[in-house]
C-alpha cells in the first residue's frame, strides 16, 4: 500500500514565500486601491489551509511564535514612536477624550459583547476586549486617503488609531497578566503584587531605554550609520528583559520606549521614522501571512451564529456608544460624531496580539482562548470590508468629504505660478499657493487665489493645511535648495510621481547635478525660476487648449511651434505634468537641439539614449496621452500665430492666464 508523504518547504523557502506574498499583497492593494489587510488575509488563507503549500508549524517549527512575538513588539514600538504629542492640533481634545474615556469604556463594552454575544468566559473576554480597543492605524490611514475626509474628522480617526494602538495592547497585556498570575499565584494579593512589580519594571525599562537612546543620539555618542542598528538592538533587549520578570510585559516596555523617543525632538528622528515605516511594512505583511496560513478551518468551524451577533454588537452598539459618550461636551458637530462612531476598522495589531494571547490563554488552561484567533479574523475581515466600501459614501452623505477634484499645492508666489493657479482655478481644479515670503503672496492674493503664508515643512502648515485634499505639489520658488528640500520631504507623502519641481540653476551641469532621490520630477519645460519670470514679463501666457477628434495634437503643435507644453488636464480634471520622455518623442527637433547644447563628450551617449527611447511603442504611448478629451496646458509666446489661434479657438474654449493682477 502506498503511503502519502507530506513534504513542506524549507525554512529559507518559507521566509521567501512569506515576504513575496506579504509585500506583494500590499503592493497589489495599493494598485487596486483596496484595503491591504484583505489581500494579505486572502493570500495567507490560500497558501495555508486552502492549498496546504505553507504550514508555519510544519515548515518553521518552533520559530513561529518567537517571530510573531518579536514582530508584534516592533509594531507596537512603531505605534509608540508615532505618538508625537505636539502634532495633535485642533484634534487634541477629541483624541484625549477617545483615549482617556473611550479606551476604558470600549474595553468594558467589548468585553460585554464578547461574553454575552460570542459566549466567551470572563477571562478570555477581558483579554480580548482589551485588544479590541485598537482600531488599526495601518488600516485607517489608506481608508482616510481614499475617502478624502475633511481635516478634523480625519485627524480624530487617525490619531485615535495611533494612540489607542499601544493602549489596547497594554490593556490586553494587563488583562492577560492578571489572568495568568491569578491562576499561578497562591492568592489575589500575591497576584496583584506580582503584576504590579512586572508592570513597574516594564515601564522603568522602557523609560530608561528611550531616554538612553535619546541622550546618546543627541550627544552624538552613536555615529549616523549605526543609529538604526543600535536602535533595533536596544529594542530587542527592551522587549526581552521585562519578559523574564513577567510574561509579555516586554510589549509595554517597547511601547513606552517608542513614546519617549517620539517626544524627544531628536534631529535624527527622520531616519528612525524611515526605519520604523520600512520595518512595519515588512513585519505587518509577515505577521498576517503567518497568522492567516496558520488558520485551521476546523477552528473557524467552531464559530456559531453567536460570532455574527458579536460582530454586530461591536459595530452597531459598542463602537457608537464608546465614541458618542466620549465626545459629549467637546463641541464637535453632530455629523462628525456620527462618522467617527460608525468608523472603527480593526487591523494587524488586533489579529497579531489576539492570536498570540489566544494561544497563551489556551496553554494556560483557558479553554475559550482557542476561539480568540478565529473571532479576531472574523472581526477584522468584517470591519475592513464594511468600512473600506462605506466610509467614502458615508462621508459624502454627511458632508464631511473634501469636495471637488484632487488639488494642486504650489510652492512659490511668482508670475508664473499665479498664472498657473488662475488657470487651474478656472478649470475647477482646487489650488493653493504657499510661500514663506509674505511679499511673494501679494500677486496671487490680489488674483483671488487661496494662499498660505509660512513654511510647508513647519508645524503651522501641518496643523492648518488639509494635506489630504491635495495630490500634487509643484515646487517653484526662486530658492532651488528650498524647492529640493520640500519636494524631497513631500515625496513620501504624495508619491514621487506627484511631486514636481522647476529646473535648478546650473542643474544640467555634472558638478551641480543631484541624485535622483532628491527633489521632484522635472516641471516647467526645463526652465528655471528666472527664465520663467522673464518669459512672463515678455508677455507669455499659460493656456489650456482642449483636443478633439477634429483638432488634434499635431495641429496644436503646428500652430504653436515655440510653445512650452508643461502639463495636461486629463478626463475628470486631474492635472498631470508633461513627461520629459514625451517631450523628446513629440518634439524631436527640441530634443536634438538639447543634445547639441551638451558638452561634446556627453553628446554621443545622449544620442544613443534618445535612439533607444524612440520606439513605436513609446511614441504611441506618448501620443495616447495627447488624445481627444485632454486639455493641453502650455506656456505660449505673444506672437501672431498664438493670437490668431486664440481668436480661432473660442469655439474650442481655450482659456489664457496672463498672471497679472486684476
Determine the pLDDT at residue 208.
92
Dihedral sign from CA coordinates of 519, 523, 527, 528: negative
Is residue 40 over pLDDT 70? Answer: yes
Start-to-end CA distance of the chain, whole Å, equals: 93
Task: Locate all alpha helices (DSSP H) within 597-639, ordered by sequence.
Answer: 600-613, 616-624
Strands 431-435 and 407-411 come out as parallel
* C-alpha span between 551 and 299 (Å, rounded): 65
Determine how many CB atoms are found less than 10 A away from the CB of residue 2. Answer: 4
Is residue 274 over pLDDT 50? Answer: yes
Q: Which is more confident, 27 or 596?
A: 27
Dihedral sign from CA coordinates of 44, 48, 54, 59: positive
- Rounded to the nearest 5 degrees, what angle is found at the Cα of 81, between the Cα atoms of 77 and 85? 140
Is residue 463 over pLDDT 70? Answer: no
> Which three cell numbers mark 180?
495568568
| Distances 365 to 134, 295, 350, 372, 418 between C-alpha atoms, Å | 26, 20, 22, 14, 70
Sequence-separated (6 or more) residues with CB below 8 Å from residue 176: 127, 130, 247, 248, 357, 360, 361
In order of their start, the domains of the chain are: 11-398 (1.20.1530.20), 407-636 (3.40.50.720)
Determine the pLDDT at residue 321.
92
Q: Are 251 and 76 in contact (CB under 8 A)?
A: yes
Determine how many CB atoms are found less than 10 A away from the CB of residue 390. Answer: 14
> Which three cell numbers mark 568?
495636461
Q: Is 32 exposed, middle or buried (0-12, 13-18, 19+ CB in 10 A)?
A: exposed
Phi/psi for 380 (5° steps) reads -60, -50
Closest CA to 344 of 462, 173, 168, 172: 168
Mean pLDDT of the chain: 78
Is residue 338 over pLDDT 80? Answer: yes
* C-alpha span between 173 and 69 (Å, rounded): 13
- Helix and strand numbers (H, E) in the chain are 30, 11
| Distances 520 to 186, 508, 566, 588 between C-alpha atoms, Å | 65, 15, 15, 24
Segment 316-325 shows an average pLDDT of 91
Sequence-separated (6 or more) residues with CB below 8 Å from residue 61: none
Residue that the C-alpha cell 513620501 belongs to:
492
Determine the pLDDT at residue 597.
67
Determine the pLDDT at residue 419.
92
Whole-structure pTM value: 0.65
For 409-472, the DSSP string reads: EEE--SHHHHHHHHHHHHTT--EEEEES-GGGGHHHHHTT--EEES-TTSHHHHHH--GGGEEE
**How confident is the model over 59-108, as pLDDT tens digits?**
887 777 777 777 777 777 776 776 666 666 656 677 788 878 888 888 89
**How confident is the model over 488-535, as pLDDT tens digits?**
888 777 777 888 888 888 666 666 566 666 778 888 877 888 889 999
Residue 660: pLDDT band (50, 70, 90) is very low
Strands 407-411 and 470-475 come out as parallel
* C-alpha span between 469 and 463 (Å, rounded): 14
* C-alpha span between 419 and 426 (Å, rounded): 11
* C-alpha span between 73 and 85 (Å, rounded): 21
Determine how many CB atoms are found less than 10 A away from the CB of residue 64. Answer: 18
Beta-bridge partner residues of 576: 568
Q: Are 504 and 466 in contact (CB under 8 A)?
A: no
DSSP, collapsed to helix, strand or coil, labels residue 474 as strand
**How confident is the model over 377-429, as pLDDT tens digits?**
888 888 877 887 788 788 888 887 766 567 888 898 889 999 999 998 888 88
> Which three cell numbers mark 592?
536634438
Amino acid at each position: 500500500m502506498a503511503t502519502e508523504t507530506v513534504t513542506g518547504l524549507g525554512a529559507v523557502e518559507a521566509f521567501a514565500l512569506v515576504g513575496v506574498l506579504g509585500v506583494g499583497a500590499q503592493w497589489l492593494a495599493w494598485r487596486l486601491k483596496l484595503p491591504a489587510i484583505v489581500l494579505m488575509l486572502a493570500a495567507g488563507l490560500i497558501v495555508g489551509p486552502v492549498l496546504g503549500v505553507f504550514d508555519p508549524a510544519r515548515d518553521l517549527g518552533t520559530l513561529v511564535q518567537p517571530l510573531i512575538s518579536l514582530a508584534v513588539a516592533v509594531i507596537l514600538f512603531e505605534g509608540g514612536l508615532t505618538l508625537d504629542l505636539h502634532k495633535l492640533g485642533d484634534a487634541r481634545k477629541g483624541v484625549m477624550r477617545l483615549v482617556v474615556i473611550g479606551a476604558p469604556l470600549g474595553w468594558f463594552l467589548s468585553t460585554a459583547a464578547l461574553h454575552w454575544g460570542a459566549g466567551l468566559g470572563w477571562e478570555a473576554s477581558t483579554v480580548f476586549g482589551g485588544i479590541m480597543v485598537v482600531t488599526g492605524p495601518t488600516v485607517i490611514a489608506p481608508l482616510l486617503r481614499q475617502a478624502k475626509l475633511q481635516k478634523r474628522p480625519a485627524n480624530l480617526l487617525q490619531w485615535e488609531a495611533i494612540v489607542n494602538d499601544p493602549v489596547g495592547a497594554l490593556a490586553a497585556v494587563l488583562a492577560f497578566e492578571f489572568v495568568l498570575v491569578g491562576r499561578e499565584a497562591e492568592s489575589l494579593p500575591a497576584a496583584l503584587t506580582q503584576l504590579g512589580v512586572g508592570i513597574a519594571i516594564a515601564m522603568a525599562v522602557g523609560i530608561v531605554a528611550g531616554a538612553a537612546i535619546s541622550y546618546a543620539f543627541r550627544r552624538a555618542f552613536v555615529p549616523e550609520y549605526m543609529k538604526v542598528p543600535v536602535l533595533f538592538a536596544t529594542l530587542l533587549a527592551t522587549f526581552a528583559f521585562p519578559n523574564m520578570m513577567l510574561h509579555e510585559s516586554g510589549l509595554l516596555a517597547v511601547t513606552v520606549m517608542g513614546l519617549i523617543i517620539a517626544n524627544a525632538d531628536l534631529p535624527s528622528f527622520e531616519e528612525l521614522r524611515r526605519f520604523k515605516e520600512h520595518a512595519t511594512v515588512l513585519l505587518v505583511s509577515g505577521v498576517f501571512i503567518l497568522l492567516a496560513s496558520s488558520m485551521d478551518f476546523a477552528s473557524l468551524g467552531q464559530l456559531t451564529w453567536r460570532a455574527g451577533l458579536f460582530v454586530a454588537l461591536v459595530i452597531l452598539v459598542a463602537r457608537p456608544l464608546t465614541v458618542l459618550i466620549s465626545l459629549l461636551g467637546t463641541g464637535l458637530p453632530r455629523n462628525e460624531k456620527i462618522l467617527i462612531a460608525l468608523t472603527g476598522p480593526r487591523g494587524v495589531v488586533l489579529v497579531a496580539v489576539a492570536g498570540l494571547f489566544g494561544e497563551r490563554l489556551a496553554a494556560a488552561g483557558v479553554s475559550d482562548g482557542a476561539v480568540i484567533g478565529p473571532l479576531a479574523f472574523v472581526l477584522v475581515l468584517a470591519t475592513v470590508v464594511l468600512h473600506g466600501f462605506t466610509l467614502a459614501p458615508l462621508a459624502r452623505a454627511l458632508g464631511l468629504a473634501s469636495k471637488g477634484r484632487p488639488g494642486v499645492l504650489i510652492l512659490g508666489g511668482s508670475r508664473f505660478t499665479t498664472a498657473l493657479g488662475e488657470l487651474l482655478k478656472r478649470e475647477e481644479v482646487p489650488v493653493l499657493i504657499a510661500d514663506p515670503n509674505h511679499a511673494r503672496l501679494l500677486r496671487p492674493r490680489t488674483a483671488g487665489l487661496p494662499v498660505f503664508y509660512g513654511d510647508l515643512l513647519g508645524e503651522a502648515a501641518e496643523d492648518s493645511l488639509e494635506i489630504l485634499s491635495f495630490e500634487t505639489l509643484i515646487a517653484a520658488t526662486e530658492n532651488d535648495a528650498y524647492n529640493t528640500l520640500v519636494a524631497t520631504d513631500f515625496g513620501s507623502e504624495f508619491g514621487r510621481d506627484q511631486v514636481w519641481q522647476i529646473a535648478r540653476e546650473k542643474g544640467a551641469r555634472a558638478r551641480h547635478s543631484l541624485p535622483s532621490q532628491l527633489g521632484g520630477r522635472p516641471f516647467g519645460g526645463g526652465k528655471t525660476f528666472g527664465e520663467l519670470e522673464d518669459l512672463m514679463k515678455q508677455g507669455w501666457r499659460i493656456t489650456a487648449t482642449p483636443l478633439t477628434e477634429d483638432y488634434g495634437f499635431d495641429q496644436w503643435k503646428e500652430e504653436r511651434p515655440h510653445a512650452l507644453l508643461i502639463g495636461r488636464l486629463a478626463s475628470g480634471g486631474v492635472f498631470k505634468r508633461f513627461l520629459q520622455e514625451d517631450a523628446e518623442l513629440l518634439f524631436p527637433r527640441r530634443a536634438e537641439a538639447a543634445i547639441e547644447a551638451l558638452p561634446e563628450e556627453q553628446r554621443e551617449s545622449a544620442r544613443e539614449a534618445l535612439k533607444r527611447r524612440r520606439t513605436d511603442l513609446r511614441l504611441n504611448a506618448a501620443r495616447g496621452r495627447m488624445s481627444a478629451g485632454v486639455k493641453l496646458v502650455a506656456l505660449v509666446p505673444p506672437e501672431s500665430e498664438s493670437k490668431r489661434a486664440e481668436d480661432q479657438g473660442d469655439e474650442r474654449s481655450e482659456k489664457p492666464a496672463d498672471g497679472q493682477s486684476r
